[in-house]
Structure 1
């Protein structure tokens, strides 16, 4: 076993593989709730997310480590960053950015048009990736997914963890939800920094249709390879809880109406004061994990009905 692999504890729960840092610390299970900020447009949400990045940049020196949000939730932020990268206005900020992805389908070629990496490149643009300090995606093109994942996690840990975890809100069955791709009943616990989760055909169909609707350039061979993906790689609860700031955006309830109820459930669920019961609640509805973070922001649109 390599030295980097010895830094992690691994366990399986119903075919879900979860990784924990051997040095992970206990957390205080405090319910901080969520107080969403309702904005009028996706463009306003993008500006609010960018302002959170500016605030972090102003409050610390040195590198800034962020996890990009895939899908619709951060596209306006990414467009803004892409436009800024075409000028020299924020070159000093870009030079400080260590950028990570937070989830991925695997196995799949890194050049596949259905990968989040290609989507980030499409919207953020070539100039952005030339100017940032580093970009570290989850590797999906290797037979040894776990070892590659551990290398990714080790780099994130060595850089000091995430300053901002840009995160979304995904609806699930039974009015539950996921964060990153922590799925209901996947067995994720507070000390799990990442997981490898079996994928379902319904997730693949949703992913493929979402990318096609979003304008991604894809081929038949890309789609065939994507449909053969078996796993989801995802950051876990520990990565969320240990991030210095969590910035959530929910902008597509009009096209994903299930989010109206699932997000409402995250806001209104009474969290148990009993740790064992709380763990059951979080396992059944992982969208609740954000309520345990002391420094989170949630930017949403009026179509959530709040």
Structure 2
């Protein structure tokens, strides 16, 4: 079943809802591979990510549109940005930033301590959000999640799309992985810009334990509301492929050892030359989407074993 909402097409696959723009182009797979840059510390990874932002700022004029990465992978980058915001050193750069989130649990109050927005505010700090041009999170506190997501996507499109998609790498069963929160077998296709995916109890447990370990300020009522979340909102493959640059970071293989095998699988999988078969590979292991982007950087630590 599909129908048009605004200028987006809605497609449903096994309770996964995907939004896309009209697209008549055939899917032609071009595998650019991925060459990880191995660094020694999380601080070095954060600096490398910041350097990519500097390069983009030097290469273009006007606004810079970025998607923030939640969780451990970008915390050092966020700390660096927060420190810069406390000074006047990079005020001109910060004033050019249109900042977007890339995924969220829903429904959930925007003030919930388990929200990525709260975690961003905690680490980036008030000065950062006062100095940037705009901040657009995915809205999770509305009964009409689809319309709110379309409003978010419309703003991103009107601004010209993402200049940098800061992205992570999440482990999944069967040595698969997710990007943003594009889950295996969720039906994500190359033209899907964003999706609304049913959530699993295992994801909720992982999310809650990750936030508690990371030092987030949460309450019992926050946890209760978080455990009642039913969906994941996520940017989709089209948002990844259309971003001008992908900057990936993978820094927590010590605490998430499954990433050693799942990242290796992304590096070493051979795509089937048949496009339909290749799409099945991408559906089973969405972490592979990064290999189809011509301008992707992947910063990792030595504990990933590559």
Distance in 2 between residues matched to 1:5 and 1:148, nearest whole Å: 12
Give distance in 2, aligned partners of 1:97 and 1:141.
Answer: 25
TM-score by length of 1: 0.98
Partner residue in 1 for 2:234:
234
Report if the CA contact (8 A) 2:28-2:275 is conserved.
no
Shift in CA distance, 265/81, structure 1 to aligned 2, threshold 3 Å: same
Q: What residue in structure 2 maps to residue 302 of structure 1?
A: 302
> 1:21, CA displacement in angstroms?
1.1
Determine whether 1:145 maps to 2:166.
no
**2:124 maps to 1:124:** yes
Give the Cα–Cα distance (whole angstroms) in 1 for the partners of residues 96 and 25 of structure 2: 28
1:46 aligns with 2:46: yes
Change (3 A) 1:50 1:27: farther
* 1:9–1:86 distance in 2 versus 1, CA, 3 Å: same
| Cα drift, residue 23 of structure 1 | 5.2
TM-score, length-normalised on structure 2? 0.98
SS in 1 for 2:139: coil
- Aligned partner of residue 261 in structure 1, secondary structure: helix
Aligned counterparts of 1:301 and 1:92: Cα–Cα separation in 2: 31
Q: How big is the shift at 1:272? A: 1.1
- Cα shift readout 1:186-244 (whole Å, capped 9, x = no counterpart): 00000000000000000000000000000000000000000000000000000000000
Report matched runs for 1:179-258 at 5 Å.
Answer: 179-258=179-258
Residues 13 and 187 in structure 2, CA contact (< 8 A), matched pair in contact too: yes
Aligned equivalents of 2:83, 2:274: Cα separation in 1: 48
* Count of residues paired in the alignment: 303
Q: What CA distance in whole angstroms lies between the structure 2 residues aligned with 1:263 and 1:33?
A: 13
Show CA shifts across 1:8-36 (max 9, x none): 00011000000001257555420000000
Deviations 1:243-296 (A, max 9, x none): 000000000001000000000000000011110000000000000000000000
Contact 1:24 1:191 in 2 (8 A): no
**How far apart, in 2, do the equivalents of 1:24 and 1:219 lie?**
48
Secondary structure of the 1:135 match is strand
5 Å-filtered alignment, 1:1-306, equals 5-22=5-22, 28-306=28-306
Contact 2:23 2:191 in 1 (8 A): no
**Native 8 Å contact 2:106 2:140 kept in 1:** yes
**Matched residue of 2:233: which SS?**
strand
Quote the Cα distance in structure 1 between the aligned partners of 2:27 and 2:120. 33
Report deviation, 1:125. 0.2
Unmatched segments (≥5 aa) in structure 2: none
Determine helix, strand or coil for the equivalent of 2:130. helix
Distance 1:280 1:35 in 2: 23
8 A contact 1:94–1:133 mirrored in 2:
yes
Structure 1, unmatched stretches of 5+, are none
**In structure 2, C-alpha distance between the alignment counterparts of 1:300 and 1:166, rounded to whole Å:** 13
Distance 2:5 2:154 in 1: 9
Alpha-carbon RMSD:
1.0
In 1, Cα distance between the equivalents of 2:130 and 2:85?
A: 9
Asked whether the equivalents of residues 65 and 163 of structure 1 are also in contact (C-alpha less than 8 Å), the reply is yes
C-alpha distance in 2 between matches for 1:164 and 1:52: 9
